[in-house]
């Protein structure tokens, strides 16, 4: 039975990816010395914002990083709340004794900005953020299981990226692919790589978790 549900942040809890890309472009392009296409920015995903900026901004990356935080906070007015039903789903899981954690590639500072803006700063029992050197999601999932003293069959992870499927496979954890904000071609690739575990809406994910027993009053855990 599932005892822990982990969630990604960008594109899963909230529609923050367009804002992340635009904030990065506005803040970092002056230091890169050229306009930044979406593809160039997306190629840095998997690293936290320090790692992303260091790859693009050169020697002045620390200045660029501070500018990014300023722009990111300002632009968050465009995305003031999580996806409909997401905060309620997380609270429902917790009421049923399911541990809820956040595993994101974002850095601690930008993650904190988003959670405060969403009113979710205290929602998660544990938060694992990203690294400037590498994508560490598989490692973070393993750390969570060790922290809670559970096995891979007692955890699921909800994420929208194709790389989330890979990270879950490495950690032995089942990935539940969030497709409610991805383009159709990505949803098709999710289904090809993660068949039967792709969810077009937060409501569809909730229905699946309910059928899995996570929202059953008879199934409560203390971990």
Query: Can you tell me the distance from the alpha carbon of 141 to that of 107, in angstroms, rounded to the nearest whole number?
Result: 16
For residue 116, tell me if it sits in a domain.
yes
| Pair 92, 117 in one domain | yes
Q: Which of 27, 54, 78 is the last residue of a domain?
A: 78
- Supply the CATH number for residue 101's domain: 3.40.50.1000
CA distance 98 to 90: 9
How high is the pLDDT of residue 222?
53
Cα distance between residue 63 and residue 31, in whole Å: 9
> Residues 26-55: pLDDT tens digits?
999 999 999 999 999 999 999 999 999 999
43/97 same-domain check = no
Give residue-wise pLDDT tens across range 148-184: 999 999 999 999 999 999 999 999 999 999 999 999 9
* Six token digits for residue 133: 């050197």
Q: Name the one residue in this structure whose structure tokens are 């994508």.
A: 135
Q: Kindly calculate the radius of gyration of the chain based on its CA atoms and give it in whole angstroms.
A: 17
pLDDT of residue 81: 97
Asked whether residue 222 is domain-assigned, the answer is no
Q: Are 52 and 24 in contact (CB under 8 A)?
A: yes
Residue 183 falls inside a structural domain: yes
Question: 48 and 28, same structural domain?
Answer: yes
Same domain, 49 and 87: no
DSSP 1-55: ---EEEE--BTTTB--HHHHHHHHHHHHHHHHTSPPPHHHHHTTBTB-HHHHHHH
Residue 223 lies in a domain: no
Q: How much is the pLDDT for 64?
A: 97
Q: For residues 3-20, give the mean pLDDT.
A: 97
| Total domains present in the chain | 2
**Domain of 27?**
17-78
């Amino acid at each position: 039975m599932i005892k822990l549900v982990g969630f990604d942040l960008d594109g899963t809890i909230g529609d923050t990816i367009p804002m992340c890309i635009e904030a990065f472009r506005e803040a970092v392009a002056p230091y890169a010395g050229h306009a930044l296409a979406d593809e160039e920015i997306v190629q840095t995903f998997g690293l936290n914002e320090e790692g992303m900026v260091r790859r693009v901004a050169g020697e002045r990356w620390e200045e660029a990083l501070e500018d990014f935080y300023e722009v990111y906070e300002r632009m968050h007015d465009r995305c003031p709340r999580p996806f409909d039903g997401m905060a309620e789903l997380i609270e429902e899981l917790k009421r049923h004794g399911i541990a809820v954690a956040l595993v994101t590639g974002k850095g601690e500072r930008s993650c904190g900005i988003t959670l405060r803006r969403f009113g979710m700063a205290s929602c998660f029992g544990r938060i694992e953020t990203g690294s400037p050197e590498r994508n560490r999601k598989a490692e973070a999932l393993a750390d969570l299981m060790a922290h809670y003293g559970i096995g891979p069959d007692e955890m699921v992870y909800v994420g929208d990226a194709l790389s989330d499927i890979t990270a879950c496979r490495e950690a032995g954890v089942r990935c539940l692919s969030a497709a409610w904000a991805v383009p159709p071609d990505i949803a098709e690739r999710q289904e090809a790589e993660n068949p039967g575990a792709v969810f077009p809406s937060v409501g569809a994910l909730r229905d699946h978790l309910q059928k899995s027993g996570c929202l059953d009053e008879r199934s409560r855990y203390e971990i």
